[in-house]
Amino acid sequence: MEHNSYVIVVGNEKGGSGKSTLSIHLAIAYLYAGYKVATIDLDGRQGTLTHYIENRIRYAKDNKLTLPMPEHLVVTPSQYSNKKSSNEDEEQLDYEINELKKEYDIIIIDTPGTYSHLSNAGHKNADILITPVNDSLVDIDVIANINPYTKRILSESQYTTNIREIQKKRKELGKQDLRWIVLRNRISHIDAKNKREVDNILKLLQTEIGFTYISGIGERVVYREMFLNGLTITDLMNMGKDEISISHIAAKNELFSVLHTINIPLKNLSN
Ligand SMILES: Nc1ncnc2c1ncn2[C@@H]1O[C@H](COP(=O)(O)OP(=O)(O)O)[C@@H](O)[C@H]1O
Ligand SMILES: [Mg+2]
């Protein structure tokens, strides 16, 4: 029997947009909320999410802490790059996801910053796709090519076209719609003009392309400094650490507003 589970894919065909950081933050927040969570790293080459979780396991052991842990899998592409092995990779990933669905409420898939067959197979399994984009006009290019004068869309990006294809196929198969959320990440606290411009363009793209736009997560040291001990903002809040700062509280509020937009029926997301 398959129980009700959600597959969240964190994807953007661009490195450094915050996919792995967001993946771990979502996973741990959902664990604290009482969900059974599994994570899949499709970017085994970089392995950021995997290293984050390894660091977390080590930190918990060294400090004799019981920290919530996701069930974690790394799925790597086969070493051959022909059509047959690509299909086998896709079948393998589908199999792993279906197995996890039997037991886990939420499966979070972190993807690499470039197109790959495996990453595409991950996207095909998404109920919810979250695309973090850095707070820069350069990074919007991954969604659409923008006319620099009118700020209108010149053409959709390959990535957007691909998502549309996946959405269409799901519809044909009678599956639930794939919801696409674009999240502005690393919002600078100083560059007001750039900030306004990125915000305006994403608002425009939201209606023209058809995603939900969240504006978003700030550029905060807290997202970078916790990697080595594998902690996230939700851990800090739950551990009741003395050194909670205004920036931590702002980060927690940003993360919770992402969770509310994702809108998986919430269990106990009150703190
Ligand atoms: N909101 C943020 N504020 C500050 N630094 C961030 C934020 N989000 C991500 N980073 C940093 O940006 C870099 C890239 O993030 P990462 O999650 O590895 O991106 P990706 O997985 O898309 O390549 C890392 O150094 C990470 O710590
Ligand atoms: Mg990554």
CB 101 near ligand 1, within 6 Å: no
* Structure confidence at residue 266 (pLDDT): 59
Would residue 268 count as lying in a domain? no
Would residue 271 count as lying in a domain? no
Would residue 43 count as lying in a domain? yes
Mutate-to-test residue for ligand 1 from 17, 21, 109, highest number of ligand atoms within 8 A of CB: 21
CB 107 within 8 A of CB 4: no
Measured CA distances, 21 to 49, 111, 185, 225 (Å): 7, 12, 11, 11
* Structure confidence at residue 244 (pLDDT): 85
* Structure confidence at residue 165 (pLDDT): 95
Residue 255 sits in a domain whose CATH number is: 3.40.50.300
How far does the centroid of ligand 2 lie from the alpha carbon of residue 264, in Å? Answer: 24
Q: Nearest Cα to 131, choosing from 148, 109, 116, 146?
A: 109
Would residue 211 count as lying in a domain? yes
User: What is residue 207's DSSP assignment?
Assistant: I
CB 143 within 8 A of CB 136: no
CB 14 near ligand 1, within 6 Å: no
Backbone phi and psi for residue 7, each to the nearest 5 degrees, phi listed first:
-105, 120
Locate tokens 């047959």: which residue?
A: 84
Would residue 245 count as lying in a domain? yes
CB 117 near ligand 1, within 6 Å: no
* Structure confidence at residue 147 (pLDDT): 87
Question: How many whole angstroms separate alpha carbon 211 and alpha carbon 203?
Answer: 10
Report whether the peptide linkage leading into residue 216 is cis, meaning its omega lies within 30 degrees of zero: yes
CB 131 within 8 A of CB 183: yes
Q: Which ligand is nearest to the CA of 187?
A: 1
* Structure confidence at residue 270 (pLDDT): 43
- Domain total of the chain: 1
List per-block mean pLDDT (blocks of 10 residues) for the chain, which spans 271 residues.
Answer: 83 95 98 97 95 98 97 88 80 96 97 94 97 92 89 92 95 92 92 86 93 94 93 92 85 95 71 40
Would residue 1 count as lying in a domain? no
Atom 23 in ligand 1: which residue has the minimum CA distance?
16
CB 48 near ligand 1, within 6 Å: yes
CB 47 near ligand 1, within 6 Å: no
Would residue 107 count as lying in a domain? yes
* Structure confidence at residue 114 (pLDDT): 93
Q: Nearest Cα to 266, choosing from 106, 68, 30, 3?
A: 30
Neighbours of 198 (CB within 10 A): 24
- Beta-sheet pairing, 6-10 with 153-156: unpaired
CB 219 near ligand 1, within 6 Å: yes
Mutate-to-test residue for ligand 1 from 130, 223, 229, highest number of ligand atoms within 8 A of CB: 223
Measured CA distances, 147 to 14, 137, 189 (Å): 21, 11, 26
How far does the centroid of ligand 2 lie from the alpha carbon of residue 242, in Å? Answer: 30
Mutate-to-test residue for ligand 1 from 224, 247, 258, highest number of ligand atoms within 8 A of CB: 224
CB 185 near ligand 1, within 6 Å: yes
Q: Tokens standing for 259?
A: 């969770």
Q: Which domain holds residue 24?
A: 6-262
* Structure confidence at residue 86 (pLDDT): 81
The packing angle between helices 246-262 and 19-32, to 10°, is 80
User: Tens of pLDDT along 112-135?
Assistant: 999 999 999 999 999 999 999 998
User: What is the SS3 assignment for 261?
Assistant: helix
Would residue 86 count as lying in a domain? yes
What's the length of the chain? Answer: 271
CB 9 within 8 A of CB 22: no
User: Tens of pLDDT along 34-47?
Assistant: 999 999 999 999 99
